[in-house]
C-alpha cells in the first residue's frame, strides 16, 4: 500500500505536466492571445466540467482562465466548471453504479479515498478536490454509495469555490506581474498543497493494511 500510495500521488501531481511533456504546451493557451471573453468563459467552464471523463490538466486550465478573464470572472467560470464536473461524476456513480467506478477509478484510488471517508465522512470530498485522480474518484464513489446529496452539495460548493478563487488569483497575478512562471506554478502548487494536507492528516491510516472486502 505504501509504494502504491507514493506512486499514485506522484502521478497525480504530474498530471498537469503531461501536456507540456507531450506537445510542449497546453491546448487552449492561445486564450491569452485571442478569443472573446464570453467564448473563453463558457469554453473554459466546459473543459473543467469534462475533466471528470477526460484526462485534462484542470488546474492549469483554471489558472489560465484567471489570467484571461480576470480574478472575479475567472473564478466564476472555474466554479461553474468544477461544480458541474463534480455533479456529473456524482450522477455517473449514482445511475451507472460500480461498473463505471471500476472502469474509471483504480482499486488503489478507491481504497485511498474510502480510508479518508471512513475518518472524515462527507468532508473527505472537500479534501480531495484539488488532487487529480482522487478528485474524480471521490465524486464517483459518492454517487455509487448514494450519499445524501443535500449534505454533499455544501461541501462541494465550499471546496470548489475556494479552489476556483485560488486558481484564478494565480492566473490574474501571473498576468499582472508578467510572470509565466507564476501561471505555471499555480497549476502545480495547489495540487501539491492538497497532497501535503492529505499526507499530514491520513499518513498513518494509509499505511495500514487495506481491508480485502468492501461493500
Torsion angle defined by CA atoms of residues 97, 142, 153 and 68, in that order, rounded to the nearest 10 degrees: -90
**25, pLDDT greater than 70:** no
Does 174 map to a domain?
A: yes
Does 30 map to a domain?
A: no
- How many Cα atoms sit within 13 Å of 97 on the Cβ side? 1
- pLDDT class for 210, splitting at 50, 70, 90? very low
* Cell numbers linked to 155: 461541501
Does 141 map to a domain?
A: yes
What does the alpha-carbon distance between residue 115 and residue 206 come to, in Å, rounded to a whole number?
Answer: 7
Does 23 map to a domain?
A: no
Does 215 map to a domain?
A: no
Cα Rg of the chain, angstroms? 17
**41, pLDDT greater than 70:** yes
* Cell numbers linked to 154: 455544501
Does 116 map to a domain?
A: yes
**113, pLDDT greater than 60:** yes
* Cell numbers linked to 62: 483554471
How many distinct structural domains can be found in the chain? 1
- pLDDT class for 74, splitting at 50, 70, 90? very high
Sign of the Cα torsion 174, 178, 182, 183 reads positive
Q: Which domain holds residue 183?
A: 2-16+38-206
Does 29 map to a domain?
A: no
Does 214 map to a domain?
A: no
Amino acid at each position: 500500500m505504501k509504494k502504491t500510495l507514493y506512486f499514485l500521488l506522484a502521478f497525480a501531481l504530474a498530471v498537469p505536466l503531461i501536456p507540456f511533456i507531450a506537445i510542449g504546451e497546453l491546448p487552449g493557451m492561445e486564450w491569452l492571445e485571442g478569443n472573446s471573453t464570453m467564448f473563453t468563459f463558457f469554453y473554459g467552464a466546459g473543459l473543467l466540467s469534462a475533466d471528470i471523463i477526460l484526462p485534462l490538466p484542470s488546474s492549469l486550465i483554471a489558472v489560465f482562465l484567471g489570467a484571461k478573464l480576470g480574478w472575479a470572472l475567472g473564478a466564476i467560470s472555474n466554479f461553474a466548471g468544477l461544480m458541474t464536473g463534480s455533479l456529473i461524476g456524482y450522477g455517473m456513480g449514482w445511475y451507472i453504479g460500480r461498473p463505471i467506478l471500476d472502469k474509471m477509478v483504480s482499486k488503489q484510488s478507491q481504497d485511498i479515498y474510502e480510508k479518508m471517508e471512513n475518518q472524515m465522512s462527507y468532508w473527505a470530498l472537500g479534501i480531495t478536490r484539488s488532487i487529480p485522480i482522487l478528485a474524480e474518484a471521490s465524486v464517483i464513489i459518492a454517487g455509487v454509495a448514494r450519499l445524501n446529496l443535500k449534505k454533499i452539495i455544501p461541501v462541494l460548493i465550499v471546496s470548489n469555490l475556494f479552489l476556483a478563487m485560488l486558481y484564478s488569483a494565480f492566473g490574474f497575478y501571473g498576468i499582472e506581474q508578467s510572470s509565466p512562471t507564476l501561471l505555471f506554478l499555480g497549476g502545480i502548487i495547489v495540487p501539491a498543497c492538497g497532497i501535503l494536507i492529505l499526507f499530514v492528516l491520513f499518513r498513518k491510516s494509509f499505511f495500514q493494511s487495506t481491508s480485502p472486502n468492501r461493500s
